[in-house]
Amino acid sequence: MSETSHPFFDMHAHGFVRVATATPCARPADVAFNTAGVLDEARKAHAAQVDLVVFPELTLSSYAIDDLLLQDALLDRVEQAVAEVIAASAELAPVLVLGAPLRRGGKLYNCALVIAGGELLGVVPKSFLPNYREFYEKRYFAHGRGCTDLWIAVAGEEVPFGTDLVFAAANLPGFRFGVEICEDFWAPIPPGMTAALAGALILCNLSASPITIGRADDRHLHCRSSASRAIAAYVYSASGHGESTTDLAWDGQGVIYEMGDLLAESARFDLAGELCVIDIDTDRIAAERLRNQTFTDAAEAAGHPEDSYRRIIFEHAYAGGDIGLLRPVARFPFVPHRPERLDEDCYEAFNIQVDALMRRIEATGAKSLVIGISGGLDSTHALIVAAKACDRLGLPRTTIRGYTMPGFGTSQGTKDNAHRLMEAMQITAGEIDIRPAATKMLEDIGHAFASGEPVHDVTFENVQAGLRTDYLFRLAGQHHGFVVGTGDLSELALGWCTYGVGDHMSHYGVNAGVPKTLIQYLIRWVIQTGQFTNACGEVLGAILDTEISPELVPPGADGQIQSTEELVGPYELNDFFLHHVIRYGQRPSKVAFLALHAWRTRDGGLWPAGFPDARKNTYDLATIADWLDKFLHRFFGFSQFKRSALPNGPKVSSAGALSPRGDWRAPSDAVATVWREELRESLPSDVVDEVFGDTAT
């Protein structure tokens, strides 16, 4: 099976739906011209392999035509145009959602029509009609409130009519959408919210909305709010150039949100027809609703609209295979990537840790803060958090007692950095050589290393890690303080910490909610914003440039030091995996798919603002799958018992934490088989052969 045809590479197989807003060329009351504009954009969408296209309000007639809306000749021509669009849609893959004035029961309604595969699937009337300031819709239209379980005759067919419709593709489980029209989402209780409670994952808004100063911001506010509250995607399309400018102007704004995230926005004031295209992650939306019991409670409080709404089922003629992924994917999902919010986001992350530590100092009345300083990232960050906490509490920096504890694998460079850092931070500094005590313990337990054999096994490493923590706890008792833990979220995810009396344990784990990639970025932010002296900044820069290593094993004959990432995988990949697993419960196959689109080229995914060019790595699918399989084995298979016994520590990122008292609860004796099998079974056979050596398991 070729790479492009394998289901793994089809975004639809991972719950994505390609949506677009369309701003067609238009003229007031020129139905033929407007119909041609709709079909032009529909054909563009078909070529772009779009699944759903949302047009502006009253697309076929135009919006700002006043009393012309009450002319039978116009309304007859609109219904004829509807038949033309329906016929043309038989050759087009996208579902079209467009606006038209339609008559029913002696009344005129402002309607959204849903057309797909040569059929009119249903018609949704506008619920709320603005009749203030420049708007006079009640002069022409009847409102759609209370229109449920009804039908309408359009172009010779009887189709469902009402505000109680959710449209769902039979062959794409996540492709479920509801429709509201312009003013509907300005109402205190928008009808789109009920459609979401009834099961719609995507909400479409056909809008006219003339432009005035500040109105574009108002639309963003309402779209983002609607998408966030409904836990949905929100696709908004407003009328553009071509509407009547008798008293108003139009900018053609198209906006697409997914929950709280702005994914795409069209160019405004464009003279030509325009599509704004993006891929929506319906799996992510559904997973968030599954976790949010308030959403379920709201559906119950609303009378279970999922039972009363009519679900209009259709077979979607989507394009399969590898059609790419049109979506910004953050390589570093725990790290701020918005340049305009960079300082604020880093400020919050850093000060969450600082404030939490301050409260613990106040609550315990501690006379000292004891930290093991290795010259590595985690202990460095814990120290700068502790230093800032002392500064804000008015305590001398000497309250912090830092100890570097060289072992058998400690390099001179990290040891020097540790001393330089403690000196620059003006804390109480000390050094304890743990090698004599470690040698004695290895002798006592009969370990081969004590007899001169180069045996550097887990016991050899854990003796050193345990002694360091043991010393720190005794020093904390001696100096009437507590041990500040340095271990981070990434290490907890991988189980990369020595359980109990080891780096797993402390009195307060200040870094427990911060992944390794965020720690690296926060240290850069501390340097760039001048949080400490230039001397501190120089040492921090040197520590950032040092390879991540536990330094528990002596260098080899070639002088190479022990590398953490060679053993557990690149932290940038592990943090990517962790985010999608704990925040959204994504299938391993989808995590691999997202990682591929984020990491296979330097230009593919979103880099954090100011990320160093020299550190911009890429990974192919085989490499991603190999490290993801190892992550799944470590995360689900044997590391939970360490997380179940965590000391206190603050949650920092909304993506989650691993404390059993917070975001993550799991059995300590689970197995990883389900997740590892799902990954292997989803991958192309050549990748399975390369990574795992066979295709059987």
Candidates 119, 629, 596; CA nearest to 322 is 596
Residue 149, marked binder = no
Summarised one tens digit per residue, pLDDT across range 475-489 is 999 999 999 999 999
Beta-sheet strand order (sheet of 481-485)? 428-431, 400-404, 368-372, 481-485, 508-509
Among residues 182, 204, 223, 346, the one annotated as catalytic is 182
Judged against a pLDDT cut of 50, whether residue 2 lies above it is answered with: no
Among residues 25, 79, 111, 126, the one annotated as catalytic is 126
Q: Look at 364 and 216; give whichever has higher pLDDT.
A: 364
Give me 527's structure tokens.
């340097």
Candidates 239, 311, 289, 254; CA nearest to 28 is 239
Tell me how far apart the alpha carbons of residues 262 and 321 are, in angstroms, rounded to a whole number.
Answer: 27
Judged against a pLDDT cut of 90, whether residue 319 lies above it is answered with: no
- Evaluate whether 397 touches 390 at the Cβ level (below 8 Å): yes
The predicted model gives 340-349 an average pLDDT of: 82
Judged against a pLDDT cut of 70, whether residue 212 lies above it is answered with: yes
Q: Give me the pLDDT at residue 210, please.
A: 83
Candidates 234, 280, 287, 232; CA nearest to 257 is 234
Candidates 77, 98, 91; CA nearest to 32 is 77
In three-state secondary structure terms, 147 is coil
Candidates 299, 86, 120; CA nearest to 200 is 299
Burial-class residue 609 by CB neighbours within 10 Å (0-12, 13-18, 19+): middle
Q: Give me the pLDDT at residue 48, please.
A: 97
CA dihedral 654, 657, 660, 665 (to 10 degrees): 80
Residue 152, marked binder = no
Tell me how far apart the alpha carbons of residues 120 and 98 are, in angstroms, rounded to a whole number.
Answer: 11
Q: Give me the pLDDT at residue 242, please.
A: 85
Judged against a pLDDT cut of 90, whether residue 513 lies above it is answered with: yes
Q: Give me the pLDDT at residue 558, please.
A: 62
Model confidence at 501, in pLDDT bands (50, 70, 90)?
Answer: confident
In three-state secondary structure terms, 115 is strand
Q: Are strands 157-161 and 150-154 parallel, antiparallel or unpaired?
A: antiparallel
Tell me how far apart the alpha carbons of residues 330 and 346 are, in angstroms, rounded to a whole number.
Answer: 17
Residue 300, marked binder = no
Which amino acid does the sequence have at 98? L
Residue 499, marked binder = yes
Summarised one tens digit per residue, pLDDT across range 638-652 is 999 999 999 999 999
What's the chain's average pLDDT? Answer: 93
Sequence-ordered list of residues with C-beta below 8 angstroms from that of 146, at least 6 positions apart, any chain: none
Residue 209, marked binder = yes
Any idea which fold 11-314 has?
Answer: Nitrilase/N-carbamoyl-D-aminoacid amidohydrolase (3.60.110)
- Is residue 3 among the annotated active site residues? no
- Is residue 182 among the annotated active site residues? yes
Q: Give me the pLDDT at residue 565, please.
A: 87
The predicted model gives 435-443 an average pLDDT of: 96
Sequence-ordered list of residues with C-beta below 8 angstroms from that of 15, at least 6 positions apart, any chain: 173, 174, 281, 282, 283, 284, 286, 590
Tell me how far apart the alpha carbons of residues 55 and 94 are, in angstroms, rounded to a whole number.
Answer: 12
Model confidence at 677, in pLDDT bands (50, 70, 90)?
Answer: very high
Judged against a pLDDT cut of 50, whether residue 256 lies above it is answered with: yes
Helix or strand holding residue 122 (H, E) = strand 119-125
Summarised one tens digit per residue, pLDDT across range 101-115 is 999 999 999 999 999
Summarised one tens digit per residue, pLDDT across range 537-577 is 999 999 988 877 777 788 766 667 778 888 999 999 999 99
Which amino acid does the sequence have at 184? D
Q: What is the 3-state secondary structure (H, E, C) of 358-424?
A: HHHHHHHCCCEEEEECCCCHHHHHHHHHHHHHHHHHCCCHHHEEEEECCCCCCCHHHHHHHHHHHHH
Residue 496, marked binder = yes
Q: Identify the residue whose tokens are 């330089």.
A: 420
Residue 379, marked binder = yes
In three-state secondary structure terms, 633 is helix
Model confidence at 694, in pLDDT bands (50, 70, 90)?
Answer: low
Determine the straight-line distance between the first and last CA of the chain, rounded to whole angstroms.
18
The domain segmentation of the chain, as residue ranges, is 11-314, 341-692
Sequence-ordered list of residues with C-beta below 8 angstroms from that of 602, at least 6 positions apart, any chain: 616, 618
Residue 355, marked binder = no
Residue 374, marked binder = yes
Q: Give me the pLDDT at residue 4, please.
A: 63
Q: Look at 34 and 552; give whichever has higher pLDDT.
A: 34
Q: Are strands 165-169 and 176-181 parallel, antiparallel or unpaired?
A: antiparallel
Model confidence at 697, in pLDDT bands (50, 70, 90)?
Answer: very low
Cα 498 from chain centroid (whole Å):
31
Give me 254's structure tokens.
């198209």
User: How many CB atoms neighbour CB 156 within 10 A?
Assistant: 8
Helix or strand holding residue 588 (H, E) = helix 588-599
Residue 642, marked binder = yes
pTM: 0.93
DSSP 8-state code for residue 248 = -
121-144 core/surface letters (b: 16 or more CB in 10 A; e: else): bbbbbbbbbbeeeeeebeebbbbb
Residue 417, marked binder = no
CA dihedral 78, 80, 82, 84 (to 10 degrees): -140
Give me 625's structure tokens.
């799958």
DSSP 8-state code for residue 648 = P
Judged against a pLDDT cut of 60, whether residue 311 lies above it is answered with: yes
Helix or strand holding residue 528 (H, E) = helix 516-528
Q: Give me the pLDDT at residue 557, please.
A: 60
Judged against a pLDDT cut of 80, whether residue 182 lies above it is answered with: yes
Residue 215, marked binder = yes
Residue 217, marked binder = no
Model confidence at 588, in pLDDT bands (50, 70, 90)?
Answer: very high
Give me 48's structure tokens.
């772009």
Least confident of 398-402, 531-535, 623-627: 531-535
Summarised one tens digit per residue, pLDDT across range 227-252 is 999 999 999 999 898 888 888 888 88
Tell me how far apart the alpha carbons of residues 123 and 150 are, in angstroms, rounded to a whole number.
Answer: 10
- Evaluate whether 378 touches 549 at the Cβ level (below 8 Å): no
User: How many CB atoms neighbour CB 626 within 10 A?
Assistant: 18
Crossing angle for the helix pair 282-291 and 293-301, to the nearest 10 degrees: 80
- Evaluate whether 416 touches 586 at the Cβ level (below 8 Å): no
Summarised one tens digit per residue, pLDDT across range 141-158 is 999 999 999 999 998 999
Percent of the chain whose pLDDT exceeds 90 = 81
Give me 514's structure tokens.
């911060």
Tell me how far apart the alpha carbons of residues 19 and 201 are, in angstroms, rounded to a whole number.
Answer: 12
Instruction: Tell me which CATH homologous superfamily contains domain 341-692.
Output: HUPs (3.40.50.620)
- Is residue 158 among the annotated active site residues? no
Tell me how far apart the alpha carbons of residues 304 and 197 are, in angstroms, rounded to a whole number.
Answer: 8
The torsion angles phi and psi of 125, rounded to 5 degrees, stand at -85, 155
The predicted model gives 519-539 an average pLDDT of: 91
Helix or strand holding residue 165 (H, E) = strand 165-169
Judged against a pLDDT cut of 80, whether residue 445 lies above it is answered with: yes
Q: Do domains 11-314 and 341-692 have the same CATH topology?
A: no
Give me 445's structure tokens.
């337990």
Among residues 25, 41, 44, 57, the one annotated as catalytic is 57
In three-state secondary structure terms, 103 is strand
Which amino acid does the sequence have at 242? G
Residue 474, marked binder = no
Sequence-ordered list of residues with C-beta below 8 angstroms from that of 661, at least 6 positions apart, any chain: none
Least confident of 241-245, 387-391, 530-534: 241-245
Residue 375, marked binder = yes
The torsion angles phi and psi of 314, rounded to 5 degrees, stand at -145, 160
The torsion angles phi and psi of 180, rounded to 5 degrees, stand at -135, 165
